[in-house]
Structure 1
């Protein structure tokens, strides 16, 4: 192998290692729960550093569901059993309403009580369907054997 090919190979290899290390670091960061807003059986959870893959988001929920219940009382089912938990990217933090497309929380005083709508994970439960997940790529259900499958 010529010296120039060795240098090119080494540079590409080094860049690949740096990229792999960065992706590993991203996947291992702890999720930062900034705030929780609840209304009846709906919970809005504001997060930073949420997993970036659909599988990572769902697995994070399944792994941390008991801890979220004990620490934040999430989920908070209705008397008939249904609940909704939506994880939102906290982004640049609370901001003022734009009068149109921001999510504003009534349990906070305006004017800085809104966030940009950037849902990361929607977790729902109905007595008919069981627990399900809605992500940008589609909907997922947990089948009778506990396996997560994409809804058709």
Structure 2
């Protein structure tokens, strides 16, 4: 093997190890709930350090749904049981509305009440579908036996 190829391979291995270490470190950081904003049956939860994988996100919800109900009173279902919770990455924090695609919260009495739209995932409950989890690539339903099935 040529010296140039060995150096390239070594650099690639080191970069891979650094990336793997960073991702491992990030996975152990606890989820931080920055704020919860409520409008009727819709809850927006602003978070930092959310799990990377779909399975990690769903497991986090299942492990923490009782805490969210006790601490933040979410979800707040309608009389028929329906609700939606959207988890948003807090990113760079609250900003003014100025930019095109921002989500603003009416329950804050300040002009700095918007975030950049960067959703992590959505949890919904309805009569027809039950509890569903929506990600960028599809919708998954949680069955009563605990199985998760992709429906879209």
- Normalising by structure 2, what TM-score? 0.87
- Structure 1 runs not aligned, ≥5 long: none
1:101–1:19: structure 2 CA closer, same or farther, 3 Å change rule? closer
Report SS of the residue matched to 1:115: strand
- Tell me the distance in 1 between the aligned counterparts of 2:3 and 2:117: 52
Superposition deviation, residue 101 in structure 1: 2.3
Q: 2 CA distance for matches of 1:143 and 1:126?
A: 13
Q: Distance in 1 between matches of 2:4 and 2:84?
A: 58
Q: Which runs of 5+ in 2 are unaligned?
A: none
What is residue 34 of structure 2 aligned with on the other side?
A: 34
Aligned residues: 152
Write the mapping of 1:51-70 to structure 2, written as runs, cut at 5 A.
51-70=51-70
Deviations 1:26-81 (A, max 9, x none): 11111111000011211111111111222211111111111111111111111111
**Secondary structure, in 3 states, of the residue corresponding to 1:113?**
strand
TM (norm. structure 1) is 0.87
Partner residue in 2 for 1:71: 71
Residues 107-132 of structure 1, C-alpha deviations (whole Å, 9 max, x = no match): 01131111111111100001221100
TM-fit CA distance, 1:18 = 3.0
Structure 2 counterpart of 1:109 = 109
SS at match of 2:79: coil
SS in 2 for 1:122: strand
Q: Report the equivalent of 1:150.
A: 150
Provide the residue aligned with 1:137 in structure 2.
137
Cα offset, 1:6, TM superposition: 7.8
Of residues 50-59 and 2-11 in structure 1, the stretch that sits farther from structure 2 once superposed is 2-11
Secondary structure of residue in 1 paired with 2:107? coil
